[in-house]
Structure formats: structure tokens, C-alpha cells
Structure 1
Amino acid sequence: MEPQEIINRTIEFINNRDDSETSFNEQALHLFAYQFRVNQPYQQFCRQQGKTVRTVKSWRDIPAIPINAFKELTLSCEDPSQVERIFMTSGTTQGVKGNHYHPTLQVYDRSMIRNFKERFMNRTSSIRMGVLFPTEEEMPNSSLAHYLALAVQEFGAEGSRYFIGQEGVQVGPLIEALEKSENTGQPYALMGATYSFIHLFDELERCGRRFSLPKGSKLLDTGGFKNQARVMTLDGFYDLMHHYLGVPHSACINMYGMTELSSQFYDTGNENVPSVKSGPHWTRTKVMNPLTGEEVPQGERGILAHCDLANFNSVSTILTEDVGVETEDGFLLLGRAEGAAAKGCSINVEEFIKATKGLSE
């Protein structure tokens, strides 16, 4: 099958509403067969694991690539020099960033727009938006910058704008926007990295300002507190959201995503934390023992592995370094792996590099 056929088939699967396990399994196996055939480093790794197109019978059997492998190897079914966009991870391993190659943004964009519309916009067609993150032009290799640009482009009402500059949060213009929403009763959506909200709250405290945004307003944060000097509890963070912006915890949405995936996971508000997160019908999540590679029973802690069928050009299944628990409706994100668990996540990376050494030189 040719790349364009894979792209067309993936978009068609995203567009349909069949969320049955049978349909997902069929699409996952079809994509695995393509990636096994074309992505040579991945094929070598699968063979080392004793997995081939003949032996893999379910999406659960598809070998999960450790997320750090994106920093060590070129995982792309198409020529990396010919792709439309390369998204790079913010974290580094020995100065090396992970790369996710997108021959076309058609699939990523369709995945984001369909999912965002259903999970964040809900029944709202548009809303005035404020963005606490640099623009796509300023950060062209950031998947989050592209994600937020799409949100504004597709769903931002007149007056939507960015409030991050070289000096940080542009507090004055943002206060004017919040005042306008408060005075007119027009709902407002403020979106950005979690740490940007922390800086905003510090500035509002300094200015002695608080707001009570109108009903229908909503907030979206993403990224958490990783690599930040200042850390707080989730309860404390969403208490500040309500304190300074007057938005209830139930309208504070957290988006969980990563550069190595092409889809995002959302909760339905943070009245209770940690909140249950789930993805669209073209994703599945399993929880694994990092040392054995086996799935753990529902309710037990393990490492999250995501199967994202929008990842048509790299690999569909990613083993993260995030600790979680499977629930009836999705999963709970509990933090980052440490100690033995973190070491276990890295074991397959070493095997992967060893198996594909000749291909990457």
C-alpha cells in the first residue's frame, strides 16, 4: 500500500464514528503491517521481540516503542528530508531532542480538530480565546504551538489573540480582555502551558486583580509542572484557577499530549483530581509492567502505553514513562516513573538501539 492510501484510510477512520474494538483492531493491524514493511528500524526491533505481521493478532500485541527511541533513531516511513513538518521534544537526552516526522499535517490536523471540537468545545461552535504560549511562527517545531494555532484558527471568535511575548505574559492586554469578557458576559477560553498560568497568577496577585468570568468560560492547561522549579498540588493549582479567574473546577480542562503522538487525551474537568483522561476512538491505552512488558490488571499501577492510529508515519504504539492506572472510562495519570520503573522503561531502548545499530549509521 502506498503512503497516500495510508493517509486517506487513516483520515477516513478518524472521520467515522465506529468505535468498536473490531474496527479499531482491523485498522491497527493494517497500519502495523505497513509500518513493519516500510519502517526498517521498527521492523528490526519487532523481529527481535519475536513479533511479525503473522504473529501479531491484536493491537495489544503490537510492540510498543519506548518514547526515548525518538531521540536515538529516525522513526519515519517516508524520507525525513521530504516531510512537511518535524515536531521536536522540549526535553533532551545528552543534548539530543526527539523528532517526530510528519510527511503531511493532514492527519495530525484532522485528529486534533475532531477531538478538540468534541472534548473542549463541546456544543460551542466558537469562543473568544486567549493563548498563553508562543506562536507557531516563533516555535515552528513545537507540536503544542501548532495545536494551539489550530484551536484559534478553527474555533477562535473575533478578538482571539496571544498573550505571550519576549517579556513573558502580557498582563495589561490580557487584563483588558478578561475585563471585557466579565463586563459583556461573553464567555472566554484561556489556554496554554500549565507553568504559564502560574506566572499569570503571580502577576495578578501583584496587581491585586481577580476576575469572575461568565458562565460558559473555560480554561485549558497542559504540560504539568515537569522541569519547573515551582511545583504545587493539582488541587492547589485548580483552586488558583477558580480564585483568580472565577471559573469552576469542572470547566478547567487538562490536555495530556506528547510530541511523539498525533492525538491528545482530555478529562472532563477537575472537580476531582487526579481526573480520568481518555482519548478519541482512534486511540487505545494499556497499562504495563515496565520490567516484564506485560499488561497489569485494571486498577493496578503501571506504565502507560498508547496506541494512536493517527501516528501513521512513525509507529502506532508508544511506551511512555508516565505512571497510570486503567479505569472503566480511561486512565488516571499519576506522575513520572522513577527508580526501577524508570530503568525498566529504558531497557527496551537499549535493545532497540542495539537491534537497529546498522540501520541508523
Structure 2
Amino acid sequence: MEYQDIFAIQNSQEFEQKALDVFRYQFEHNTVYRSFCDLLYKHPSDIKSIEDIPFLPIDFFKSHEVISSQKETQAIFTSSGTTGSIVSKHYVKDLSIYETSFHKGFTQDYGDIKDYVILALLPSYLERNGSSLVYMVDKLIKASHHDDSGFYLDDHLALSKKLKELDASGQKVLLIGVSFALLDIIEKYTFTLKNTIIMETGGMKGKRKELIRQELHAILKEGFGVSTIHSEYGMTELLSQAYSKGNGLFTTPPWMRVLTRDTEDPLCILSSLKTGGLNIIDLANIHSCSFIATQDLGSVHTDGSFTVIGRFDDSDIRGCNLMAL
């Protein structure tokens, strides 16, 4: 199945039609997803709208090879996990789809990447292999074409100096960091930033006590001297990201949509503003599964934006952009 037209979607009608096309394709070509649909007695003839589509529980990426293509695997992205835990594996058949997705998604929300110096503070991700976030940020750093763009591991002093120097010069800067590392740096240094976006990717990685997003953002705003904190919502099992420019309200690119499901009846899709489990349609997942039932709790607004309020109690905390309640 061709994927190029996925990134040409311009309205809700085009999205729905493409989502139904992708569902039929994955029903036929993804044996894991087909078996799941068969267990639910769901056949393409039963599916009239995206609300009818079965959403594959995200844990299947831990126990199965979720693929819709026999093409050679170009990369395997893995989730972070505690020692001995089972991690999710996303078998990526075409890295160019992922690259198109995150480049177009970033441009939609933030404009030309070349306008920014990208500084990355992602120590826990850099210290392991298979991080889709590190892959994305590395490509964005290269695409920025700024000599000052780059990763920082533990050298908070060098990062502090660079951040203050760039901000004072009027250069637009994006500092993207895992939550605990952003907290670490503002405990050592103080900032008053005027030209810098601070973007958290969530996750304390066992380094600190988990905080609700509002509390985390309040601390980061004060420490960096900024009025808002941005957030990135992504995960190993997805090839697209949603971004928040403040207040924890995320927006998606045109090829991605979020729905909420009843926590007691997974097949029941809820109306807007009701809290439930988050189901994600990511059409960039053309070669794996585009219909994912996550372990995240949240609500979706009438305009398609969404908020994340926590995780199911029995789900493991791992490397996506979430604050546990």
C-alpha cells in the first residue's frame, strides 16, 4: 500500500477515508491484528466509521511482531524499561515514513527547523540503544544546520552557558529534555529566557518522584524564567508525535487522531470531553498497526485536541510523555 498520500490529508473526510483504507489493508496483511479482530468478530464489512475499528492493545508490541509488511526491517525501536522487564519493540520497515512524519509534524507546529538551534537533554535515552526519540531529535539537530545544535549528557555547566549565550543573542532555541534532567539543571542554575522554548518529553525514569504535569510545569517555568512549558507526546509504538504549547493541551498532525474509550468496555468510543482510555490512530504506522489502544487516560476536545491525565493503575511507567497521578 502506498503511503505518500497519508501526508497529503487536509480534512476530516480525507482522514476517515484513508483510515478505513488502512484498516482494510492491515486486516489483510497483519496476522497479529487480523487474529485480534477475528477474536472480536470484527470484519471489514462491519466497519463503517473509524469508531467501529478495533484498537490493538499496546501490550501486543511486547509479545508479538506487529507488522503489516514483509519488507526488510530497517530499524527496531524499543521502549525503555526496568532491568528484566519486557520492552515493546516496533519493527520499522521504512524509516523514511518516520522521518517524513516527524519533519512535517514539527514544521506544522513550529515552522522551519532551520530557524532553531536544537539543544537536547536526554541522558536516559542516550544511554541505551533503540530510542525512537533519540533518532528523531538527532535528525532534527542535523536538519537545523546550526553548529550549536547538539546533545548534552551530564555537562550542565556547558549547556547552561550555551543556553544563556544563544538566548541573549536573540537566536530561537528549542531545549528538549526528559523531565528529571530539566529539573536537575534548574536546581544548579537560574535562567530568564526570552527566545527559548522548553519542551519536556515526560518521564522521571526512576530518578525522581513522579509529578502531575501542572506541578512539573510550574517548577520548570520558574526555573527557566519562561511563561509556558511545551510538551511532546510520543511513544515507541507510534511514528507520529503530538505537541502541546502549554497547559497540557496536545494537537495532532492531520494523519493522526486520538479517541477515548470506555475503561469498562474497550469497544465503546466515548464522546468529546469524557475521560477514558486513549486510542490513537497513527496512519504513519502503515507497516505495523495504525490503531493502538494505549494505557493512557485522558479526554478529547471537540476540536480534536486532547489532554493526558495519567495512566491505568496496572500499567508500567515507561518512556512516554506522561505524568502519573
Q: TM-score scaled to structure 1, two decimals?
A: 0.80
Indicate the residue corresponding to 1:349 in structure 2: none
1:29 to 20, 31, 38: 20
Displacement after TM superposition at 1:133 (Å): 1.4
Aligned counterparts of 2:245 and 2:223: Cα–Cα separation in 1? 21
Aligned counterparts of 1:310 and 1:40: Cα–Cα separation in 2? 19
Stretches of structure 2 lacking an aligned partner (at least 5 in a row): 316-325
Indicate the residue corresponding to 1:286 in structure 2: 259
Give the conservation status (yes or no) of the 8 Å contact 1:92–1:98: no
2:259 is equivalent to residue 269 of structure 1: no
SS at 2:284 equivalent:
coil
Aligned counterparts of 1:257 and 1:156: Cα–Cα separation in 2? 24
2:161 is equivalent to residue 176 of structure 1: yes
1:83 to 70, 73, 78: 73
SS at 1:248 equivalent:
coil
2:193 is equivalent to residue 213 of structure 1: yes
Aligned counterparts of 1:139 and 1:189: Cα–Cα separation in 2? 23
Displacement after TM superposition at 1:217 (Å): 1.6
2:306 is equivalent to residue 331 of structure 1: yes
Q: Deviations over 1:12-33 (max 9, x none)?
A: 321x2512x2211221121112
Aligned counterparts of 1:137 and 1:32: Cα–Cα separation in 2? 35
Indicate the residue corresponding to 1:40 in structure 2: 31
SS at 1:185 equivalent:
coil
2:43 to 52, 69, 91: 52
1:195 to 177, 180, 189: 180
Give the conservation status (yes or no) of the 8 Å contact 2:115–2:172: no
Indicate the residue corresponding to 1:354 in structure 2: none
Indicate the residue corresponding to 2:150 in structure 1: 161
Asked which structure has the greater CA Rg, the reply is 1
What is the one-letter code of the residue matched to 1:158?
Answer: D
SS at 1:12 equivalent:
helix
Indicate the residue corresponding to 2:320 in structure 1: none
Aligned counterparts of 1:17 and 1:75: Cα–Cα separation in 2? 25
SS at 2:260 equivalent:
strand
Displacement after TM superposition at 1:62 (Å): 1.5
Stretches of structure 1 lacking an aligned partner (at least 5 in a row): 1-5, 343-361
Q: Once structures 1 and 2 are overlaid, which stretch shifts more, 179-188 or 253-262?
A: 179-188
Displacement after TM superposition at 1:259 (Å): 0.6
Q: TM-score scaled to structure 2, two decimals?
A: 0.88
2:303 is equivalent to residue 320 of structure 1: no
TM-aligned CA distance change 1:264 to 1:126, over 3 Å: same
Identity %: 27
TM-aligned CA distance change 1:182 to 1:292, over 3 Å: closer
Aligned counterparts of 2:148 and 2:277: Cα–Cα separation in 1? 42
Aligned counterparts of 1:185 and 1:316: Cα–Cα separation in 2? 41
Indicate the residue corresponding to 1:238 in structure 2: 217
Aligned counterparts of 1:224 and 1:191: Cα–Cα separation in 2? 13
Aligned counterparts of 1:226 and 1:62: Cα–Cα separation in 2? 33
Q: Deviations over 1:242-273 (max 9, x none)?
A: 32322221xx2101111111111111223xxx
More helix by share: 1
Indicate the residue corresponding to 1:345 in structure 2: none
Displacement after TM superposition at 1:182 (Å): 4.1
Give the conservation status (yes or no) of the 8 Å contact 1:307–1:317: yes
What is the one-letter code of the residue matched to 1:162?
Answer: F
SS at 1:107 equivalent:
helix
Give the conservation status (yes or no) of the 8 Å contact 1:139–1:145: no
TM-aligned CA distance change 1:286 to 1:333, over 3 Å: same
Aligned counterparts of 2:294 and 2:215: Cα–Cα separation in 1? 26
Indicate the residue corresponding to 1:346 in structure 2: none
Aligned counterparts of 1:180 and 1:228: Cα–Cα separation in 2? 29
